[in-house]
Structure 1
Amino acid sequence: MDRQTLGKRGEDLAAEYLEGLGWRVVERRWRCAAGEVDLVAVEPGERPVTVFCEVKTRSGLGFGEPLEAITRAKMARLRILAAQWMRERHPRTMSRVDGIGILLRPGWDPLITHVRGIS
């Protein structure tokens, strides 16, 4: 599986996972001049939270766990992107950035790791 196909499959699985938690995915691959956010979802509750999800997908552990690929520079960019999205759409809601790691190995069920509030 090439990198693009692997990444798309991981994002699809992450969206399904979040929807299974009762969350609503409101954007996929949102882009602006500063970059791209993989998924934007709303976590329900008394005070709903807008969650910006960075999804990292790998087919093996040769280069480490999927979430290890989220660098400080990537986190800084995600904070900028989240602020831009919030300014354009929902300036009065709470928000955070989550990381979702997907490990897809042939013959195995996908392994999903979700870390809340990584920034």
Structure 2
Amino acid sequence: MAAKDDLGRAGEQQAADYLTRRGYRILDRNWRCSQGEVDIVAAVDTHLAIIEVKTRRSAAFGHPFEAIDDRKRRRLWQLAYAWRAAHPDLARGRILRVEAIGIVGEVPASAAIEHLEDIA
């Protein structure tokens, strides 16, 4: 397994732990469909959050959020609607929101975390 895959998995775990500490209930992780993959799906208050996690060892090649361009945002929205359609009981009555978590640091467990709650 590639070191970047290990880093990505560790970052996603750090993000899930971070979200749980802030009151999010993790509903799904690494959900896949024909359109792509959602890193984390979580419920918080009245929202259903589709969360993209970007982990980097450093910001030398740009901040993790720079990888979430307009095309990626559109795909995340498509995935949000697909997840909601596939899980109507979990999504019922919740407002969809796309979020992003950026993690920068050599060791994800102690890395800096930034969270954008709405990247519409």
Q: Which structure has the highest helix share of the two?
A: 2
TM-score when normalising by structure 1 = 0.90
Give the alignment's Cα RMSD to 1 decimal.
1.6
**Aligned pairs for 1:1-119 within 5 A:** 2-44=3-45, 48-89=46-87, 90-105=91-106, 109-119=110-120
Instruction: Write the letter of the residue equivalent to 1:19.
Output: T
Instruction: Return the alpha-carbon distance in structure 2 between the equivalents of residues 22 and 117 of structure 1.
Output: 16
Q: How many residues align?
A: 115
Gapped regions of structure 1 (runs ≥ 5) = none
Gapped regions of structure 2 (runs ≥ 5) = none
Instruction: Return the alpha-carbon distance in structure 2 between the equivalents of residues 29 and 53 of structure 1.
Output: 10
Deviation at 1:91, TM superposition (A): 4.6
Instruction: Write the letter of the residue equivalent to 1:33.
Output: S
TM-score when normalising by structure 2 = 0.89
